[in-house]
Amino acid sequence: MAATASTLADYLARQMPIYGQISREHAMRLLLLHDSHPTREQVTQAIIIATARRQVARGHGGATLRRV
């Protein structure tokens, strides 16, 4: 079953480290290597959704992500 951007956002939030941050590219790789092999558009949407839900926060002008 194909993953939706919403389920990918939840997956990303669970994979984020408790302390520190990861690069946006690392987050994209995490999602692309997920079981369902999402498209790049779904990955970008997942990051946007996770940010809007305040599951993750952007830092350094959007270059890094951290857990909220």
Nearest by Cα to 9 from 37, 35, 44, 36 = 44
Q: Which amino acid is at 19?
A: Y
Q: Which token pair is 6?
A: 């919403």
Summarised one tens digit per residue, pLDDT across range 32-43 is 888 878 888 999
| pTM of full prediction above 0.85 | yes
Summarised one tens digit per residue, pLDDT across range 5-60 is 999 999 999 999 999 999 999 999 999 888 878 888 999 999 999 999 999 999 99
Q: Which token pair is 40?
A: 């790049």
* 21 bridge partner residues: 66
- H-helix or E-strand containing 22? strand 21-23
How far is residue 8's CA from residue 15's CA, in Å, rounded to a whole number? 10
